[in-house]
Structures are given as structure tokens and as C-alpha cells.
Structure 1
Amino acid sequence: MLFNSVDFAIFLPLVFFLYWFVFPKKLKLQNLLIVLASYVFYGWWDWRFLSLIAFSTIVDYSIGRALARENGLNKRNMLLWTSILVNLGFLGFFKYYNFFLDSFTSAFSFFGQEISAHSLNIILPVGISFYTFQTLSYTIDVYRKQLEPTRDFIAFSAFVCFFPQLVAGPIERASHLLPQFYKKRVFDYSKAVDGMRQILWGLLKKIVIADNCAEYANEIFNNSGEYSGSTLLLGAFFFTFQIYGDFSGYSDIAIGTSRLFGFDLMKNFAFPYFSRDIAEFWRRWHISLSTWFRDYLYIPLGGSRCGTWMKIRNIFIIFLVSGFWHGANWTFLAWGALNAIYFLPLMISGKNRLNIDAAAKGKILPSFKEIFQIGSTFFLTVLAWVFFRAENVADALRYLINIFDTTLFSQPQIFPTTLMTLLALFVITEWLQREKNHGLEIYGNGLLKHRPIRWGAYIGIITIIFSFGGSQQEFIYFQF
């Protein structure tokens, strides 16, 4: 069920009504409703994969209970590795089986040995990478004794399958989201209204920014040999905003929807394209995944508390694993490696935490230095996204080489004026709101605190969505 579909427009009010008006004082029934609604939401794509979610839920709940009773280190390790192998086993089979099979046979073919192997017609379950990491966070935290294992199976099931963030995050930690299912929720009008604002902003990002950019990015990438360097650069620029509008738009809708039901999800994007270096970009992009890898992989490997060569190793591991998490293709590994190369000079020089606050904090305009930093970081990010979008590494390299030929400074063959105007207005709005949680948040100072301006913005955004919305596209991160 897509957030930007008629189905969801009917589904959400119905669940909201049952949640607050039929079961307002019955916590267990509210949690059970969330489980049932989440299974309907997920089953809308393919009901057969509900068994995977149910099985993961049962396995990790049972292991959590077993860890509560067991103090022996060997048995605790066995229980932890059971959870890891079961969860990553499912993920590995559905997502990476054919990739490893093809890579294995290609490697033997390279050395002159032909191997006959048949790939399987495997359908990737939507969101499996997200809910797998979410359940793993629970088991690992219980193993580390940082979280008390739950006795409430319904609450745990609701935590695993919570429909707003089930298929594309944010990847919630059990320590943050699970306790919210234990407590009675009281309807908070101000939170609900802000949630609606965030949903509206997320729909604008998806329907107007991402879906329109997708049309031009697809045209240029799919026919890259026919276009000039300037047009290819513009195609990479369009994909840069497509993936941002698509993924951060989903996160905005998920977070806003959660607030309608009295839940707070973690912030997943913090205006990343205003970052002044790559380290800041990764603190602001897909925050739930980057912090997951930091806490459960990077720090256990030694993090930054080791020698230079070990730091370099850890950085490459974290970025390569992050790339591979996104998909079974060498392009994602290349994308991860390139970002590691971007990051290394900052880490080695100790400058990876220079830019913590928002750019030009408390000011309307950035300094010339900040303009240069933001522009250069954005340009490097645009180039890296070429690997993410390309079909294979060879296509990505060819695309980048063709950008930097003699036609780079020619007039682009494609230049959609309306879309460029919408992007300019979008970037200006995000810049003005960069110190807030989303583009329509009104807390504190700002133009949106004035009611006429605020309602004008609502009407304007709704008008833009209906007037300039692109053709409906599935969310990019559903494939991950």
C-alpha cells in the first residue's frame, strides 16, 4: 500500500477512527489493532511474505525471553547468533542469493572454468532490510543487557511491524520505540496537527519533487549515449533530488503518521544537501541506518579508538557494508567505496566533526566559505549518486567520463523550466527551515508562525501537488 495512494487515504482515517474512538482506553486492544492494521498494510503488496515477519517476530521474542533466563556466556552467545543467523539468513537468501551465485560463476568463467548454475526467480519481500535490522537491534540490546526483554508479545509484534515505518524506516531501536507500546497513549492535538504538516511536506517531496525528477532522470540515464555532458550532469542532479525527495518524503510521512497515533519516531533526515562536508552529510542522511551501523558494527570493530590503519579499515568496512545493504549489485559497493574515499581525509585529519550545527545557524544567508563548502559537498554527492543509479559499474564510469567531455559547458538538451522553478522554491523553503525538524514545522521563530502565511502555505502546497504532481512512482527504497 503506497502512502500516496487512494488505498492509504481510506486506510489511514479508518485505523485512526478505530484507534482513538473505539479503543481509546484499552492499550492492549490498541496494540492489537496496530498489529492487524500493519499486517493488512504489508499484505496489500503480497500476503505470502507476512509469514516472514511473523516468524522473525516469534524467533526474536523467544530469544529475548531465553536471554532473560540465561546467564551463561556460551549459551547467551549461542542465542544471539541464532537470532543473527536466522534474520540475516532470510535477508541473505532473498536479497543476495542470485548475486553471490552469479558472482561465483563469473569468477570461475574469468579463469576459464565454466560452471553451470541456475539462478532462482526470487521475489524480494518489501522492506525486509528495514524490519530485519529493527528486530536485530532488540536481540542485540537484550544480549548486551541494555534493554529488558519484553513479556508482552502483542507489544513486541506491534514494534516489529508498526505500519508507518515498516517498509522503509526509519529503522527504530527497540530501546526507543518498544517502550512506547507499554504506555497509555493520550491524543495530543498539537502533535497530531504537526504530524499532518509533516505528512503534507512529505507528500510534496514525493509527488512533486521525486516523481517529476524521476521522469527526467530515467530519460537521461536510460539514453545517456545520446546526451551532452551538461545534460548528463543535469540527469545526475535530477536523480539527486529524486532519491532525496523520495526517501526523505517517505520518512516524513511515516513520522507524521506515527504522531497521529501518539508515537515519536527518530528523525531520519536533517536537510543533508546543506552539509558542508561529507562527514556532516552522513550525519544528516538516513540517520537511522548510519547510527545503526555505527553502534552495532563500527564501534564493536574499534571505531576511531585505534591506530590509523585500523581506522581506515573500519571506515571502509562501514561504508562497503552500508552500500551492500542497499542492494545486490557492484554499483552499491562502488558507491560505498567512493563515499569512504570522500570521508577518509576528514577522519585522518581529525576534521570529521567540525560541522555539527546547521549551516549559517541563526542567519538567513550563508557566508562565502559556507557556500563553497555546501556547493563542493553537494557536487561530490551528485557524482557518487551516479553509481547508485547506474545499472552496472561500467555504465556508471562511462556516464561520469561523458559528463566531463567538451560538451559539459554547452546548453543542456533537456531543461524543464517548470521543474527547475519548483526545485528552486523547494530548496529555498528547506533552507529557511533547516534548523527545524521538517519543512512545515512552525515551532519557534519563522514566517510560518503567522496564521495567514501558514494557511497560505498549506493551500499553496496542496495546489502544487494537484497541479504539478508527477506520474505515480513506487518509493525507491521499497526495493531495499
Structure 2
Amino acid sequence: MIFSSAIFIFFFAVVFFVQWYIIARLPGENLRQRTLFLFLLFASYLFYMSWDWRFGLLILFSTFVDYWAGIFISRRLEEGESASEAGQDSQTNEADSLTTRARRKARMALIISLIVNLGSLATFKYFHFFVDSFHNLMFALDPSFGPPEEHQLLFRIILPVGISFFTFQSMSYTIDVYRKVIPVEKSFIKFALFVSFFPQLVAGPIVTAREFLPQLSRFPRIDSTDLREGCRIFLLGFIKKSVLADTVAPYADMVHADPLAFGFYAHWLAAIAFTMQLYLDFSGYSDMAIGSARLLGYQLPENFRMPYLSRSISEHWQRWHISLSRWFRDYLYIPLGGNRVGPVRHKLNLFAVMATSGLWHGAAWTYVVWGSIHGLAMVAEAVFKDGIAAARDKFYRAGKWAERSWNALGWIYQIVFVTVCNTVFFRIQDISYSWPVFKRLLALEGPTAMDIRPTHYRTVFLVLLVMIAGHILGRRFFSDHHLRSPLPRWAENLALPAVLVLLTQIAVLDQTTFIYFAF
């Protein structure tokens, strides 16, 4: 059940109607809350199990473990605080011992929660990656071991949709409870809804407990502004995905289906097409998630902020998949020491986070290399930070055109770097093809003639112009994640129903799966 399908639009219309026209009219705030949370939980599990009913068992198990881990951690920390206060009054060693034991038990519960979550992720997402990597290593060390094809497992583990997303959400809860950042959630229904809330369940944005659980303290409310903005953002995401991303996807797929058969021009066309597809597909899904949640009265965090306006790789990652970057910052980068440690360790922290981010994206060495190269670029930017700043200031003092030239150089560097990395490592699943494709991008091998039809170029560059216009106009129409419509309110109120009818007609057509569903 993908967001751009007719079945989801029908599903969401039913959820919207039941929430606002039936449940919202029940007597009593408590009754409305309990009924709504149960209904949304049911709808979320129905949504997730539409892919495979077994997925519901996995997310229920993860929810159950982390809910009780949070309860246990909270109780042990309270016991430790009580013992510590008693120890201050009596000044006895026994109280200190009780405090230490209570905190140790809380830490052990957190460790168990992390092991269960990371173990599930490793089993379902990385098991075959680890096995295949081991076979490749053994074959490289001892050819008599036989190629990996001779050691294929008799079974394949199904990858649950969105497991990387809801696992990170669930882990953030137990970590924050242990850190005393948030209070424990005593309602299992509310916690289960936080983990499984269907608008952001399978591809984000990654929502932390501190952002979402407070929104479950009352029955949601929306006004005409929420209704309009929710529709606008959802429709914007739908257009990004179904009209733009799906238009350029076939050109990238065509070249990457047989990358050695194409040369310089085709691979650059595929690189540009895939870079656009990746952004339009994923940001489109995020927009639809944010818009649909807004229509139900809930706020989800911003996930993209016009990333291709960036002038460095570091800035790019502050604008791209913001919720993931923030998660790694709060739960990996800062615990490793962040930038508060020595310069060498700081650079190692940057690299470790980006390499881990690459592995998070997929169980293949291409993703690890992709993340590592981004990490090396960010390390290089940090190493030469002072020199870059001095050169920038010199350009800025030279006048407006020099300032624009500097900004253009940074923008070109970011665009070319991201585009090449995306096509050489992120798009290609077999790392043995990465080097040949890279050489084709440099025109060092392969055919150099125009090896695909001119109409392909026109289509891709038309979408590119639309995306560039969207980035430029985004500065005008977006402010703090709120879309400002250039239309008068009366015109927009007439246009939205017409666009929704058109949307349902478009959604009948075949839709491709969102790229980030695989992560």
C-alpha cells in the first residue's frame, strides 16, 4: 500500500472520515482519546501488514520489548534516586550500594533493548550480507573454498519494509528514558502508536519519542490552515513522486540494467536522472507523510530543506534526510565525543558516523563505500575549514560577483560530488561495476558517441529544469516548513478538490515502489 496508489488514498479517506466525523463527536475527552488511539493503532497495523501479515508480529515484538524495557529502566532509576536521597540523609554505604545496583540494572535493561533491536535489524537486513561477505573473504584467501555461488543458503530471510526506520525510533525511546530526557510512557497503546504510526512508519521521517509522545496527551485538533497545508504538502509530494521521479526512473534503470554497454553520455544522463529520482522519490514520500499526518492533527519533523542548494557536503547532510542525520548526531556522534574531543578523534567520529549511515542505507558494500566517501569529504572539509573560510572571506571582500562565483564553485562541487557518488555506489548494487562506471563518467572507456535517443535527454532535462525551479521558488513559498500559496484563498479552495479528483485518476496508473522502502 504505497502512498501514491489509489488504495492508499481510499484507505486514508476512510481513516480521515472516521477520525473527524465519528470519533471526534463522541462524548468525553477521555473516550475520544482512547477510541482514536486504538483506531489509529489498528489502522497502522493494517497498513503495515498489507505488505506481509508477518511484519505485524515483528513490530509488535519490538514494541513489547521496548515498552517493558522503558518501564523497567524508569523504575530502577527511581529506586536509585530514592536510595541516593536516603544515603544523603543517613550517609551509609548501603544506600550507595543500592543506588549503584539500581543503575546497573537500568543499564542492563537498556543494553538488552538495544541488543534485541539491533539483533532484529542484523538478522532481517544484514544476515545474508554478512554470510556472503564471509564466503567472498574465504574464497579470496583460499580458492579451494569455492566461489560464493557454491555456498548459497537454502533459505532467504524476508526484509521487512521500513525496519531501519521503526527500529531507530524505538531505540531512541529507551535511550531517552535512560538518559532521563523524557518520562516513561505508561500507556502501551500510546507507545505502540508512536512506533507504528502509519504516515511515517515505512520510510520516515524518523520521529523520536520526545517529538511524538507529547502529541498523544490530548485529542488532536486541526483548523482550516492545517487542512489546506496538509493537502498542499501531500499533493506536492505526490507530484514529486508520481509525475517527476517516476518519469526519470526508466532512464536510470535502462543504463544501469547493463552499465558496460553504455558510455560517457548515457552514464551522465543516468547519473543526473538517478540523482533527481532519489531526491524526488524520497522527499516526495516525506512530504506525503508530513501532509497526511498534518491532516490527522499530528506534526512530523522536516526531512528535506532544498539540499541541492548546498555549497558543501557537510551542508548537504544538514539539508538531506534531516531526521536521520539528527538521529546519528544525538545517539552516535555526540556519545562518541562529537567535536568536544581532540581534532583527530573528531575527524574519526565524523567518518564513523557517515560510514555507519552508509551501512544503515543498505546491506551491500556499495552503500558502505558511499557513506565512507561522504565521510572522507566531510573530514576534508573539517581539516581545511580555516583555509576555506579565509578564501571565502577574500572572495566576499572582492565584490558581489566574486561572492557569487565562490558560491557557484561550492554549489558545483557539491552537485558533482553527490551525483557521481550516487550513481557509482548508491545505485549500483555490485561493487565490481563501480570502477568501470566511474571510468565511463570520465570518458576513459566505453563508447563516446551519443548512445541513446535524443528524446531521452529532453525528458530528463525538462524534469531537471522543474526541479531547479522548485529549489529556487522554494525559498519564496516555504518558510519554517509552511507552504505559502501564491493563490488567493478562494482560488485555492476551488483548486484543491479538483486536484484531488485528478490525483485519484492518476493513482489508478501503475506506480513504482518508493526507493527508501528498501531501507
Task: Tell me the TM-score normalised to structure 2 length.
Answer: 0.84
Give 1:245-324 correspondences, 5 Å limit: 245-324=280-359
- Residues 145-156 of structure 1 mapped to structure 2, 5 A cutoff: 145-156=180-191
Shift of 1:274: 1.1
- SS of the counterpart of 1:434? helix
Instruction: Identify the match of residue 93 of structure 1 among 112, 123, 138.
Output: 123
Tell which deviates more after alignment, 98-107 or 112-121: 112-121
- Distance in 1 (alpha carbons) for counterparts of 2:323 and 2:369: 22
Of the candidates 334, 344, 348, which is equivalent to residue 383 of structure 2? 348
My pick for the range that moved more, 253-262 or 100-109, is 100-109
Residue of 119, 144, 153 corresponding to 2:179: 144
Question: Aligned pair 1:51/2:57, yes or no?
Answer: yes
Q: Secondary structure at the match of 2:52?
A: helix
The amino acid across from 1:100 in the alignment is F
Counterpart-to-counterpart distance in 2, 1:33 and 1:70 = 33
Q: Distance in 1 between matches of 2:321 and 2:309?
A: 14
Who is 1:15 aligned against?
15
Shift of 1:163: 0.3
Which amino acid letter does the alignment assign opposite residue 4 of structure 2?
N
Aligned length: 468
Residues 462, 306 of structure 1: alpha-carbon distance in 2 compared, 3 angstrom cutoff: farther
CA distance in 2, matches of 1:422, 1:95: 33
Q: How far has the Cα of 1:111 moved from its partner?
A: 1.6
Q: Cα deviations across residues 379-422 of structure 1 (Å, max 9, x unaligned)?
A: 11001102000022221111011111168986563442244223
Q: Which residue of 2 aligns with 1:31?
A: 37
- Do residues 203 (structure 1) and 238 (structure 2) align? yes
Structure 2 residue identity aligned to 1:394: S
Shift of 1:178: 1.1
| Equivalent AA in structure 1 for residue 270 of structure 2 | G
1:77 aligns with 2:107: yes
List aligned pairs for 1:86-125, cutoff 5 A.
86-112=116-142, 114=145, 118-119=152-153, 120-125=155-160
CA–CA distance in structure 2, aligned partners of residues 101 and 352 of structure 1: 45
Whole-angstrom distance in 2 between the partners of 1:409 and 1:462: 46
Tell me the residue number matched to 1:180: 215
Give the one of 408, 433, 456 matched to 1:371.
Answer: 408
> Residues 313, 470 of structure 1: CA spacing in aligned structure 2 closer, same or farther, 3 A cutoff?
farther
Indicate the residue corresponding to 1:474 in structure 2.
Answer: 513
- Corresponding residue for residue 436 of structure 2: 398
Per the alignment, residue 360 of structure 1 pairs with none
Closer, same or farther: CA 347–470 of 1 in aligned 2, 3 Å: farther
For 1:314, give the aligned amino acid: N
Q: Does 1:41 align with 2:47?
A: yes
For 1:169 and 1:352, the matched residues in 2 are separated by: 37
The CA deviation string for residues 250-287 of structure 1, in whole angstroms up to 9 with x for no partner, is 00000000000110000001111111111110000011
CA displacement, residues 64-115 of structure 1 (integer Å, 9 cap, x when unaligned): 1111110322111100001000011111001111111111122122221628
Q: 1:4 aligns to what? A: 4
Structure 2 equivalent of residue 359 of structure 1: none
- The sequence identity of aligned pairs, in percent, is 38
Conserved in 1, the CA contact under 8 Å of 2:6 and 2:504?
A: no
Instruction: Quickly say closer, same or farther: Cα 1:79–1:442, change in 2 above 3 A.
Output: closer
* TM-score after normalising by structure 1: 0.90
SS state of the match for residue 122, structure 1?
Answer: coil
Question: What corresponds to 1:385 in structure 2?
Answer: 422
Q: Considering only aligned residues, what root-mean-square deviation do their CA atoms show, in Å? A: 2.9
In terms of fraction of residues, the more helix-rich structure is 2
Distance, in Å, in 2 between the alignment partners of 1:235 and 1:197 is: 30
Cα offset for 1:451? 6.2
Q: Offset at 1:457?
A: 9.9
